[in-house]
Amino acid sequence: MAGRGHGRGLLLLAILLVVFPSALSELHNIIIVSRMADEVALKCRIRILGETIFFKDFYLKPGVLDEQIFTPTKRPFFIECYYGYKGNYASKVRIFDVVWPDASDCRVDRGGCLYEIKDAVLYKTTRAHGKRVVGDLPIEQCKRFLGIATKCWQRRHRYRLLGEKIDYWEFFWAQ
């Protein structure tokens, strides 16, 4: 099932291949899909040498793919996101870093990287290395009385927790 940006990304890729065939080896592609029950928000920024540059805000509806094509420029170059899901928020959730051993697997000519969010766990799949766990995303479970949360606790994590837990206002004003 194609997401909102999936068709545009393929059109851009086709145009670039015709005009600049050698550019394919520099293009990278991140595809993200959520398998969570409700919408997941990822507000992603590129970090280059202390600078922050807008990358993309992903608002992921369950089962719908979204993607972004990019070219890493300088080192260090990484992409971090603010994560939001049902009142749970985190910053510094890193989804790409040029120094990772499998960073070049995200190149378009190698199939790109598919990120999947399922049961509050972030997975990364590449053609060369298959599926692996990136880490857990924060999620609270709550007891409710008449629709009001009366007691909440952090869900037990099976994997390393990604990012740093933040509150709603930090997420809302995130740059």
Which residue in 30, 18, 28, 82 sits closest to 52, CA to CA? 82
- Range of the structural domain that residue 151 is part of: 6-172
Q: What is the pLDDT of residues 102-144, one digit of tens each?
A: 999 999 989 999 999 999 999 999 998 899 999 999 887 777 7
Q: Are 91 and 161 in contact (CB under 8 A)?
A: no
Q: What is the CATH number of the domain that holds 10?
A: 2.60.40
Tokens of residue 105, six digits: 């697997």
Query: Does a structural domain hold residue 120?
Result: yes
Most confidently modeled of 9-13, 46-50, 87-91, 113-117? 113-117
The answer to whether residue 115 sits within a structural domain is yes
Q: Is 105 within the bounds of a domain?
A: yes
Q: How many domains does one find in the chain?
A: 1
The closest of 41, 40, 101, 106 to 71, measured between CA atoms, is 106
Give 87-104 pLDDT, tens digit per residue: 889 999 999 999 999 999
Alpha carbon of 62 to those of 56, 91, 103, 135: distances in Å? 18, 21, 26, 19
